[in-house]
Chain A
Amino acid sequence: MKIEINTHEKNMLRFADEHPEALVLSADLGSSCEIKKFRSTYPERYLTMGIAEQNMCSWAAGLAREGYRPFLHTFAVFLYRRILDQLEMSVAYPNLPVVFVGFVPGITTPGGVTHQAINDVATLRAVPNMAIFDIGDATEIEGVLDLAYEYNGPVYIRMLRKEVPRLFPASEPMQFNRARVLSRGTDVVILSSSICTEEAMRATAVLTEKGLSIQHLHVSTLKPFTDPTIVEAIRNSKYGAVTIENHLVTGGLGSAVADVMAENGIGKRLIKIGLTSYPHGASKMYLMNKYGIGAMNLVDAVESLTGNSLGIHDSDLEEVRFVDFLEV
């Protein structure tokens, strides 16, 4: 699997070249958010706002009202948890095209609980007018700014940085509100997002080898959540669905799937894999193991849904790990 480096940095430069009204606002974490080169290339379009996220958010609303397209860059936690009222009243209510580029989502930072955005999707799914994109690989990083630009309203992006695998062909960019089909099948539907998709790909490979028919969908648009192909896949499944996400099991992908299953009268089981409380500060791989967000947990869930023990062990799961996230 190819590991791409600093994809957002390159993509933001490409995007800014095509859209002169795009501005980057930073709250002193620009260099941790792959935006250093943007600063040196477009100094007049890089607005340092200091460590003052509330003002940055409302200020961006003023810029957007005048036709600029502000892209706020900092860690995800500081773009929703710290400034929720500003996000809602200054930006979401008037439906302004402000893009919140939130870095180190979930457990992709060893920075501990202050740095880990674990309920951002839950929080922002409840904010009208807002779209939410959860990035899964380098190809999605290359496509998400264009989707955000085309969306008529505010956008929140759970962005990945530095070494990010390319799981999907560069020629197949992400699509708005449409799951990406990674495997077709009718026994169980696995829905994965963010860094969990790589885990789900490993699990699917082994499960398929054992004779199971798995529909694996990668979901990158978490709001809106009205993709008919998701409903159809779960309706067609024999045993139900498993979700796996880099987020709390409350309010995120799993809850969104539960909503559409109930609304569509799909009377099948759903197992939600994800965090159940605040994590602590450690490496990504350690946290995935500790909190049970990995390929083996998916296998266990599928066994539970089908009622069959498949005799799969850790050693069966293909080793396709990539470089760990070590930096705060």
Chain B
Amino acid sequence: MAQNVSIEKIQKSANSIRKQILKITLERNGCYLAQACSSAEIAAALYMDIMNLGPSVGSWEPIPFPGVPGPDNMDYQRGSAYNGAPAPDKDRFFVSCCHYASVIYCALAAVGRISPDCMDKFNVDGWNMEMIGAEHSPGFENTAGSLGQTISIAAGTAHARKMKGETGKVFCMLGDGELQEGQLWECMQTAGYYKLDNFIIVVDANEQQVEGAVEDQMSIQPITQRFTSFGAVCVSCNGHDIEALIEAANTEHKDKPLVIIAETRGTTGIPPLEKRWPYLHFVGIGPDETEEFQKVYDSL
């Protein structure tokens, strides 16, 4: 769904996501910086070109935690409000890699869906801008912290929308470490079986997970063949190339879900991270490194 935003503008938003999260990392003594580095272009391209979302209906400023859902609390502000009101022709966005919450918040800010100052409330006790996204977190449809579940919830949503004859698509963003989860493959066999051609999965394939490089923990290769064997159309592209991402999202996938493997690096744009790769799940910056990272920040 082309929104007629220039590639330059999308790249600018991606840069701003990276910069904002580096700022938080410097100020708060750590953040999920590598995830921002790997996925900044993916998030910006999704919000600014690929997805067809209505305007945000979420509160402009962050809000206090609206409470746990329950029989007496079902009208709280959903995180999905920031992706627009649900409508039959609009797309939906599920974020499974919930450690990317800061990336999503910054992406929402970069595209004008939430206040540019929203990160002041990031990971602040009592607010809805938690470090790991849940139902109420801006940009989130659901509580994604237990990996492998969100893809099934997103697929169930896509299935429901298909049965109702809605034309909007359902997008789901994943990390590549998550491809080790068995449930994900249960979901893929089912998405293929039910011919969910309204379902698009974007994998941030940054080849890193908590304990190190994905390949050294539990290989997920050959990724493309795995997805195609399970009944999806699967394409790979450079996940830092916005044009390539958009092109990949336009791949024909008649009667099948589409999987985009966005090949990325968790150090992109912030070279000092390179010497730590692949141990980049959570990046703290010690006093002796502050100057080096500050220099990068100033140059962004």
The count of residues in chain A whose C-beta lies closer than 8 Å to any C-beta of chain B is 29
User: Which residue of the partner chain, among A49, A61, A67, A152, contacts B153 with CB atoms under 8 Å?
Assistant: A61
State the CA gap A106–B70 with chains docked (Å). Answer: 29
Residues of A within 8 A of B190 (CB): 49-50, 52, 55, 59
Cross-chain contact A62 with B158 (CB below 8 angstroms): yes
Cross-chain contact B149 with A93 (CB below 8 angstroms): no
| Given A89-B149, A93-B68, A95-B69; A59-B142 close (CB under 8 Å) | no
Cross-chain contact A89 with B145 (CB below 8 angstroms): yes
A66: Cβ under 8 A from any B Cβ: yes
**Contact size class for B?**
20 to 34
A291: Cβ under 8 A from any B Cβ: no
Cross-chain contact A58 with B149 (CB below 8 angstroms): yes
A68: Cβ under 8 A from any B Cβ: yes
Cross-chain contact A65 with B143 (CB below 8 angstroms): no
B179: Cβ under 8 A from any A Cβ: no
State the CA gap A95–B73 with chains docked (Å). Answer: 9
Cross-chain contact B71 with A65 (CB below 8 angstroms): no
Q: Which residues of B in the span 53-103 have a Cβ within 8 Å of any Cβ on A?
A: 68-71, 73-74
Cross-chain contact B149 with A90 (CB below 8 angstroms): yes
User: Which residue of the partner chain, among A52, A68, A86, A129, contacts B149 with CB atoms under 8 Å?
Assistant: A86
A128: Cβ under 8 A from any B Cβ: yes
A228: Cβ under 8 A from any B Cβ: no
Bits for A47-61, please: 1 = Cβ < 8 Å to B, else 0: 101101011011111
State the CA gap A63–B161 with chains docked (Å). Answer: 9
State the CA gap A66–B157 with chains docked (Å). Answer: 6
Residues of A within 8 A of B141 (CB): 65
State the CA gap A220–B150 with chains docked (Å). Answer: 33
Cross-chain contact B160 with A67 (CB below 8 angstroms): yes
A317–chain B nearest beta-carbon distance, Å? 42
| Most interface-central of A66, A128, A152 (chain B CB within 10 A) | A66
A205–chain B nearest beta-carbon distance, Å? 39
Residues of A within 8 A of B148 (CB): 54
Residues of A within 8 A of B159 (CB): 47, 59, 62-63
| Given A50-B189, A55-B186, A59-B187; A65-B70 close (CB under 8 Å) | no
Q: Which residue of A lies closest to B188 (CB)?
A: A55
Cross-chain contact B161 with A52 (CB below 8 angstroms): no
A85: Cβ under 8 A from any B Cβ: yes
A94: Cβ under 8 A from any B Cβ: yes
Cross-chain contact B71 with A129 (CB below 8 angstroms): yes
B135: Cβ under 8 A from any A Cβ: yes
Cross-chain contact B71 with A153 (CB below 8 angstroms): yes
B183: Cβ under 8 A from any A Cβ: yes
Residues of B within 8 A of A85 (CB): 146, 149
Residues of B within 8 A of A65 (CB): 141, 153, 156-157, 160
Residues of A within 8 A of B193 (CB): 50
Cross-chain contact B74 with A152 (CB below 8 angstroms): yes
B245–chain A nearest beta-carbon distance, Å? 25
Q: Which residue of A lies closest to B181 (CB)?
A: A54
Cross-chain contact A63 with B160 (CB below 8 angstroms): yes
B155: Cβ under 8 A from any A Cβ: yes
State the CA gap A89–B153 with chains docked (Å). Answer: 11
State the CA gap A251–B272 with chains docked (Å). Answer: 54
User: Which residue of the partner chain, among B69, B164, B183, contacts A86 with CB atoms under 8 Å?
Assistant: B183
Q: Which residue of B lies closest to A54 (CB)?
A: B183
User: Which residue of the partner chain, among B135, B157, B158, B189, contacts A94 with CB atoms under 8 Å?
Assistant: B135
Residues of B within 8 A of A (CB): 68-71, 73-74, 135, 141-143, 145-146, 148-150, 152-161, 163-164, 182-183, 186-187, 189-190, 193
Residues of A within 8 A of B (CB): 44, 47, 49-50, 52, 54-55, 57-63, 65-68, 85-86, 89-90, 93-95, 128-129, 152-153
Q: A54-B182, A57-B152, A93-B143 are in contact. List 4 more A-B contacts (CB 8 A).
A: A62-B158, A62-B160, A63-B156, A93-B69
Minimum-distance CB pairs A-B, first 6:
A62-B156, A58-B152, A66-B160, A55-B186, A59-B156, A52-B186
